[in-house]
């Protein structure tokens, strides 16, 4: 009799579990270290592609992993100074990772729903620009993802803004890129054959399991 009641109580508890957001943002993924040489490749969306001006559309995408469900609030990439400081919008594309390269078409990235406002901050004495998409509130289950943040601006004059690659080792698979001047799904590794990871940091919160009591109040199971 007591065993049956205990099992019933356990089932009721499990059925009443829900999730609340943990207070305060934490770093969910950090590959923000940049190489000392200031090397990288273009990561931008110009208003059009033009061989004379050099304007183009190229998206870099980094693979990331989350052990637990997450709520993403900030995505940051690190670039060299140039026209990126004047950019106010970017395309933010997040998709499940199913292989060593993304398979999405370029047209899946450049849609209105993926446009987000961005801000820029100068770091390292002005040699590095931190480009951030903030206040995102993107909920993701645990797993592997491709994340791409591509500022919208023209190429400008040399020296061009480039997305810096990291000073650390490749984690998972190297950063991938796609030229989006025409609709295609031809992803490749920039700076082949070195194939580095490019700089990115993701911040957010971790959902916390809570217990919904029978009278409607919510209690954390960790308190």
Dump pLDDT digits (tens) for 30-89. 999 999 999 999 999 999 999 999 999 999 999 999 999 999 999 999 999 999 999 999
pTM of the full predicted structure? Answer: 0.84
Phi first, then psi, for residue 221 (nearest 5°) are: -75, -5
**Burial 168-196, CB ≥16 within 10 A → b, else e:** eeeeebbbbbbbbeeeeeebebbeeeeeb
Dump pLDDT digits (tens) for 201-213. 999 999 866 555 4
What are the boundaries of each domain within the chain? 1-20+209-223, 23-205
Pairwise CA distance, residues 137 & 70, whole Å: 10
């Amino acid at each position: 009799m007591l065993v049956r009641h205990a099992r019933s109580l356990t089932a009721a508890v499990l059925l009443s579990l829900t999730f609340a957001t943990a207070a305060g943002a934490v770093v969910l993924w950090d590959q923000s270290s940049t190489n000392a040489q200031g090397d990288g490749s273009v990561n931008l969306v110009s208003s059009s592609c033009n061989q004379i001006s050099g304007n183009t559309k190229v998206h870099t995408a980094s693979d990331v992993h989350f052990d637990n469900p997450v709520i993403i609030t900030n995505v940051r990439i690190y670039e060299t100074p140039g026209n990126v400081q004047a950019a106010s919008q970017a395309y933010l594309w997040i998709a499940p990772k199913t292989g060593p390269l993304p398979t999405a078409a370029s047209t899946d990235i450049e849609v209105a729903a993926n446009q987000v406002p961005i801000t820029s901050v100068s770091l390292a004495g002005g040699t590095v620009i931190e480009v951030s998409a903030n206040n995102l509130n993107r909920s993701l289950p645990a797993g592997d993802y491709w994340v791409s943040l591509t500022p919208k601006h023209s190429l400008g004059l040399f020296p061009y803004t480039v997305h810096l690659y990291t000073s650390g080792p490749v984690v998972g698979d190297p950063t991938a890129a796609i030229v989006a001047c025409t609709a295609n799904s031809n992803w490749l590794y920039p700076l082949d054959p070195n194939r580095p990871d490019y700089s990115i940091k993701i911040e957010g919160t971790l959902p916390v399991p809570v217990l919904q009591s029978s009278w409607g109040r919510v209690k954390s199971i960790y308190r």
